[in-house]
Amino acid sequence: MTFRRSPLALAILGLLENGPLHPYGIQRLIKQWGKDQVVNVGQRTSLYRMIVRLEESGLITAGATERDERYPERTVYHLTEDGRTVCREWLAEILTTPRNEFPEFPAGLSFVMLVPPETAGELLAQRRDHLTKRMAELDAELTLEVEGAPIPRFALLETEYQRAVTVAEAEWIDGILEELRSGSLTWTPGPV
């Protein structure tokens, strides 16, 4: 069975590399390690659905059911050899091949001509303010410590990347805002 990769599926397989986990443990680690900044865990039901799909595909397998009087029964999942292989293949594809992921911001930019340039400038200035706050949040994440020790850099590469992209976007918006202010970028709003 061919399984379509997703960030959540990759996260589940990647976390199971370190040993068996139950779904709540997977969700907790995704959040605890800050991976929820790059992996949409959403509601617990989407995590459970993904686990079922991975199990049906033979990439993970159910193991023992843990019983603890404080919690409901929890099934522990293990990574299969096929799962380990697929995880490595996905990782290689993701790291080597740029992909158009259709983010919302470029889609919004493609229709910016529907509003007057002054409105576009106001909206982009608001976005720039949000980006400034986001850069501060990312800077704080990059200096976090666990039990008094800095987090190893390899565990923060996605945060470094997010910061670099955020900085680049902010600089690009600064350029567009300057062009809107100077009048070198303009248009007449109207239907497409």
Q: Are residues 12 and 92 in the same domain?
A: yes
Q: What is the pLDDT of residues 52-95, one digit of tens each?
A: 999 999 999 998 877 666 666 789 999 999 999 999 999 999 99
Structural contact between residues 108 and 31, judged by C-beta atoms closer than 8 angstroms = no
**Which of 96, 127, 154 is the C-terminal boundary of a domain?**
96
pLDDT of 99 reads: 86
Amino acid at 63: G
3-state secondary structure of 77: strand
In a domain, 78, yes or no: yes
Share of the chain above pLDDT 70, in %: 94
Domain that holds residue 74: 7-96
Instruction: Say yes or no: 42 and 80 in one domain.
Output: yes
pLDDT at 67: 67
Query: Is the separation of the CB atoms in 190 and 69 below 8 Å?
Result: no
In eight-state DSSP terms, residue 155 is G
Residue 192 falls inside a structural domain: no
The pTM for the full model equals 0.80
For 143-174, the pLDDT digits (tens) are 988 888 888 899 899 999 999 999 999 999 99
Query: 35, 62, 96 — which closes off a domain?
Result: 96
Query: In angstroms, rounded to a whole number, what is the distance separating the alpha carbons of residues 93 and 19?
Result: 24
